[in-house]
Amino acid sequence: MFEKVLIANRGEIALRIHRACREMGIKTVAAHSTADANAMNVRLADETVCIGPPPARDSYLNVAAILTAATITGADAIHPGLGFLAENADFAAAVEEHGFVFIGPAVEHLRLMGDKVAAKAAAVRLGIPIVRGSPGAVRDIAAAQNAASTVGYPVLIKAAAGGGGRGMKIARDRAELAQMLPLAQREAEAFFGKGEVYLEHYLERPRHIEVQILGDGQGGVVHLGERDCSLQRSHQKIVEETPSPALNPEERDRIGALAVGAMRELGYRSAGTLEFLYQDGEFYFIEMNTRLQVEHPISEMVSGVDIVREQLRIADGAPLGYRQAEIRLSGHAIECRINAESPQDFRPSPGRVTDYHVPGGLGVRVDSALYQGYVVPPFYDSLISKLIIHGRTRNECLMRLRRALEEYVIGGIETTIPLHQRLLDTREFIDGDYDIHWLERFVGRAG
Ligand code: MV4
């Protein structure tokens, strides 16, 4: 097993990875920006290396600085965490060229899934159902209108190099498509450096359901069930739960088996997530995330599998060593993302945490790098804590979550805790009766 792992990330996820390493007797190197010198993950790390000033492009995205930090500390492997460079194929290739192990998927799979058009073509080959769409990229208005007449309006224009929803445009007819296509192409070029776009039939009210996969790249693949991530606002997930209240056991087994079969055929290695839209009893693959995800803990809570530990074992060349039949998914888990933001208008609220008290008790997990006196810097994502609750049933989970939110004290800054409390009093959330648009309307009403 590795002796030393460099963690090229920050905040709660850097701490999460540190914890897995320490449990396995692996020393950690925290690569951090000047803004994070006092962060908890940096304090706990065996070694620390400052890799640059606060802006991420100069530190957490600075490939040369990260590779230098790994070299001077004698790290064996690099864990990219999530966001930043986690799905960057060029970074993974550079890590390997410099003689370090990249704790993540194969470079070719990062590249494949990074191109959403190629990813959908691969999904078709692997027997995964996709949303009806243009067979490849659409270059001009005539080609787009031609494709759309087969796909059927409304259509959604998406960037091939995109993902996560940025730069998508809905076109409800021919004229709108002609108007939106050049806009979408320009935005794709500006956001992703690649103007290529494709079309999909637009599903009006789906749920977002994703399947957590672990593969060892040696034929071993399992899934850890699905996560329902429909509760989102501006493409930021707010609450995730597993199992999805919308699926029955037969649907769960069907989508899990499909995902496992496809990933086995691909020879996928490490943790990954297949994203689907689910509407009227049908699943439609939209993209794959080739990284650890923020919401991974809920899958850990119901499966008992430590996903980061598995990533480390797999990167070290170990086979999974267990089969799907040995994975028991038990009970229900919900994650509330707590952001340093105003719960009314979502304006960022960085600053000093003057009071801090975490909830505890049976079924309560808090993944956070906060401590009393810590100053939340203004430069990064506003996620400061994840409250993860496990219960034997969904109702037990909701009761426990209500109680844990009541105990949680984060003073000195504004947080989204009150938003979660309001959400827990809402009939639709209590009944699990929501789609991907429901939360936007809820905060619009409540805010
Ligand atoms: C869609 C869709 C409806 N129809 N594709 C947004 C993020 C990106 N991963 C894909 N997204 C969507 N793709 C078709 N064909 C609606 C969305 C979408 C969405 C998806 C998941 C979670 C939240 C969302 C919010 C708005 C739109």
445 band by pLDDT with thresholds 50, 70 and 90: confident
202 lines ligand 1 (CB under 6 A): yes
In this structure, which residue's CA is closest to atom 6 in ligand 1?
Answer: 165
Q: Cα–Cα distance between 393 and 254 in angstroms, integer?
A: 22
Is residue 334 helix, strand or coil?
Answer: strand
446 band by pLDDT with thresholds 50, 70 and 90: low
Ligand 1 mutation target, pool 200, 277, 282, most atoms within 8 A of CB: 277
Q: Report the separation in Å between the CA atom of 322 and the middle of ligand 1, taken as the mean of its atom positions.
A: 34
165 band by pLDDT with thresholds 50, 70 and 90: confident
For the record, the structure tokens of 319 come out as 């086979």
Q: Cα–Cα distance between 172 and 376 in angstroms, integer?
A: 43
Using the CB atoms, write b or e for 420-443: b if 16+ within 10 Å: bbebbebeebeebebbbebbeebb
287 lines ligand 1 (CB under 6 A): yes
Helix ranges, 267-373 (H): 296-303, 307-315
Contact status, residue 82 vs residue 292, Cβ threshold 8 Å = yes
For the record, the structure tokens of 238 come out as 């707010």
Q: Report the separation in Å between the CA atom of 231 and the middle of ligand 1, taken as the mean of its atom positions.
A: 12
11 band by pLDDT with thresholds 50, 70 and 90: very high
Mean pLDDT of 306-314: 98
164 lines ligand 1 (CB under 6 A): yes
Mean pLDDT of 195-212: 97
Mean pLDDT of 295-317: 98
Among all chains, which residue has been given the structure tokens 């100053």?
A: 375
pTM over 0.85: yes
pLDDT in tens, 66-80: 999 999 999 999 999
The proportion of the chain whose per-residue pLDDT surpasses 90, expressed as a percent, equals: 97
pLDDT(447) > 60? no
Q: Report the separation in Å between the CA atom of 241 and the middle of ligand 1, taken as the mean of its atom positions.
A: 18
Q: Report the separation in Å between the CA atom of 307 and the middle of ligand 1, taken as the mean of its atom positions.
A: 26
Among all chains, which residue has been given the structure tokens 């690569």?
A: 31
pLDDT in tens, 330-356: 999 999 999 999 989 999 999 999 999
pLDDT(224) > 60? yes
Give every CB contact of residue 146 below 8 A, 6+ residues apart in sequence. Answer: none
208 lines ligand 1 (CB under 6 A): yes
Mean pLDDT of 294-318: 98
Q: Cα–Cα distance between 96 and 79 in angstroms, integer?
A: 12
Ligand 1 mutation target, pool 155, 170, 197, 208, most atoms within 8 A of CB: 208
286 lines ligand 1 (CB under 6 A): yes
Give the residue from 243, 427, 232 showing the smallest Cα distance to 337: 232
Q: Cα–Cα distance between 390 and 388 in angstroms, integer?
A: 7
Give every CB contact of residue 169 below 8 A, 6+ residues apart in sequence. Answer: 156, 157, 180, 183, 184
pLDDT in tens, 229-269: 999 999 999 999 999 999 999 999 999 999 999 999 999 99
Mean pLDDT for all residues in the chain = 97
Is residue 50 helix, strand or coil?
Answer: strand
Contact status, residue 202 vs residue 133, Cβ threshold 8 Å = no
The proportion of the chain whose per-residue pLDDT surpasses 70, expressed as a percent, equals: 100
Q: Cα–Cα distance between 213 and 263 in angstroms, integer?
A: 8
Q: Cα–Cα distance between 333 and 302 in angstroms, integer?
A: 7
Q: Report the pLDDT value the prediction gives residue 68, as an integer from 0 to 100.
A: 98
| Catalytic sites, residue numbers | 291
Q: Report the separation in Å between the CA atom of 149 and the middle of ligand 1, taken as the mean of its atom positions.
A: 21
- For residue 99, is it left (φ>0), alpha (ψ between -120 and 50) or beta? left
Distances (CA, A) of 256 to 221, 251, 267, 328: 11, 8, 16, 13
How far does the chain reach from its first CA to its final CA, in angstroms?
A: 50
Give every CB contact of residue 150 below 8 A, 6+ residues apart in sequence. Answer: none
